Structure 1
Amino acid sequence: MNGGDIFIPIIDALLNLQRNIATQNQEDGMYKETVNYIAGILKTTSIPNVITAVSTLVLAVVAVLSLIYRNEAPRTVVTQEYLNTGSKTNYINTSTSGNVSDFSKKRTVANGLRELARDAQVEGDLDKARDRLEQSINIDKEIDNKEGMAVAFSNLGLIASAQHKWDEAEGYHNDSLTMETALGRRDGMAADLNNLGFIAQTRGDLKKAEDYYKKALSLYERLRSKEGIIIQSNNLSTIYLMQGKLDDAKYYRRSLFSKVDI
């Protein structure tokens, strides 16, 4: 398989995953199958070709991790009612009265907004996605729903990254990481660290990227997440290849391949 041919199956696998996400089929098995398939393709290539292939893969990793991990509850009639109301604030205030059901209704609206934002991201409408996420954050702040805010901040970071607004993206992912750390959610922490590593790598700060990826790898090892370990091993292999550290790159490449089911 030559350098140009590597891209065909990698892109095909990623497109299949995107179609899966777009149709809201978020089963974990599809994610595992795709990660293993892409890693299996890399296993059949030589070192020079891997440098090119992993660069393509790294650009897709952030979206793959986030879209799978950040899946929320499905949109609801309540959320549609909220969106169809002229005064969003009045809708929330007049339809609730301070009891337990109020919290549930607001949380339902916020969850639905994040789901709609995810759909808009997949469709490429980043402005609509941003608007939905910002609305969800405002509602989550009212009910102190840190879990929801962490998800929304991370997805806002992805939108900013897609628009090459790196400072903004870094800020959002750090906000999400702070909340995920306070909540003790290791999977969310690992996803944010991966995203921050990607931003650092894009900026050319390979040392900072390495630190983020190693922290993410450590969390995925504690979680016993084979897919997370594969992705971070690939990231670290890429970082070392970019620096000409072939022994370190081969070490993480071997770690990657030891987790692949082919």
Structure 2
Amino acid sequence: ILNDKHAIGASKRGLSMIYASRGENEKQREYLEFAMNIFKEVDDKNLLAICHHDFGLFHTANGDYDKSINYFKRSIELRHQVGKTIDVSIMAMAYPYYIKGEVDKSLNYLEEALKLFEDRKVKMRISTTCIYLAEIYLSKCDYNNALKYSERAVKITSEIGGSPLAQIMIYIYYFISQKYLDIDYNKAKLHEIIENNYIYSKNNKISLYDDDFILPYRLYELLEDTSYLETAYNQIQELADNL
């Protein structure tokens, strides 16, 4: 019976992820809540921690940043109790703090996550964390550190590869940092990456910028094309409408 309940919980969580990919928020929440209740019943703290992390991502995507932080914190508490790694939830929690304007707190969490990822030698996560750090340093007008972290992400991606969306995120920060430091950046490379991301998003029927307003805003900043600024504004407006 215990194993059956675990299987049911896992299937419900799997369904929540499918609905998340389709943008069906209410269905995503419903199935994730179902899974979480099952894992509470069987007292599986590891899987319960994973569900709390998922809910943190859910509320982040929907602009409810206080709730997302609470879920990430609970996920971290549960992971501590069962001796599991906490780095992914720490990294994820940095984003809502950043959007809330608590930049230094976000920076501290990212530095902690980066150290944990480095200890485990998880290159993909190191690269992602470096990009988040580049965003924070860019917001602080610390272009040298923004370049330092984005350049590290570029080097890692050249080793392990990455999706077109990952490529555009990494290179935008790399090129913006160069722009503000009066270093010529590779404009042909940028336009190639933008085109590849457009084709990839269209073929896979996914959001061009992963529903993130920061990415099109940084593209506007880099290229000074107001169409990107309009996209960023629309993303923010959609978040506000859903609150």
Report the CA distance between 1:143 and its aligned residue: 1.6
Q: Offset at 1:26?
A: 7.4
Instruction: Tell me which residue corresponds to 1:75.
Output: 32
Report if the CA contact (8 A) 1:22-1:119 is conserved.
no
Check the 8 A contact 1:214/1:236 in 2, yes or no: yes
Matching residue of 2:98: 161
| 1:222, distance to aligned residue in structure 2 (A) | 0.9
Runs of 4+ in 1 over 6 A off after TM superposition: none
Written as runs of structure 1 = structure 2, the 5 A alignment for 1:209-228 is 209-227=146-164, 228=166
Cα offset, 1:150, TM superposition: 1.2
TM-score by length of 1: 0.59
Q: Is 2:201 aligned against 1:244?
A: no
Aligned to 1:99: none
Pick aligned residue for 1:197 from 130, 134, 141: 134
Conserved in 1, the CA contact under 8 Å of 2:110 and 2:133? yes
Residue 218 of structure 1 and its aligned partner are, at CA, apart by: 0.8
- Give the CA deviation at 1:108: 0.7
Q: Quick one: distance in 2 between partners of 1:107 and 1:223?
A: 29
User: What amino acid sits opposite 2:37 in the alignment?
Assistant: Q
1:255 correspondence with 2:189: yes
Alignment-derived partner of residue 232 in structure 1 = 170
State the 1:202 CA deviation.
0.4
Q: Sequence identity of aligned pairs in percent?
A: 13
**What is the count of residue pairs matched by the alignment?**
172
| CA distance in structure 2 between the partners assigned to 1:141 and 1:25 by the alignment | 29
SS at match of 2:127: helix
TM-score computed with the length of structure 2 as normaliser = 0.63
Distance 2:105 2:22 in 1: 28
1:180 to 114, 117, 142: 117
Match of 1:128 among 25, 45, 67: 67
Paired residues of 1:187 and 1:219 also in contact (CA < 8 A): yes
Q: Which residues of structure 1 form unaligned runs of 5+?
A: 1-20, 28-73, 83-90, 97-104
Secondary structure of 1:204's aligned partner: coil
Residues 226, 75 of structure 1: alpha-carbon distance in 2 compared, 3 angstrom cutoff: closer
Q: Which amino acid aligns with 1:224?
A: G
- 1:165 to partner: Cα distance: 1.0
Which residue matches 2:21?
Answer: 25
- Work out the CA distance in 2 between the residues paired with 1:173 and 1:240: 22
Shift of 1:235: 1.6
Task: Name the amino acid aligned to 2:171.
Answer: S
Contact 1:75 1:111 in 2 (8 A): no
Change (3 A) 1:22 1:117: farther
- Alpha-carbon distance in structure 1 between the residues aligned to 2:32 and 2:121: 27
1:35-184 superposed matches below 5 A: 75=32, 77=34, 79-80=36-37, 105-146=44-85, 149-184=86-121
Give RMSD over aligned pairs.
2.6
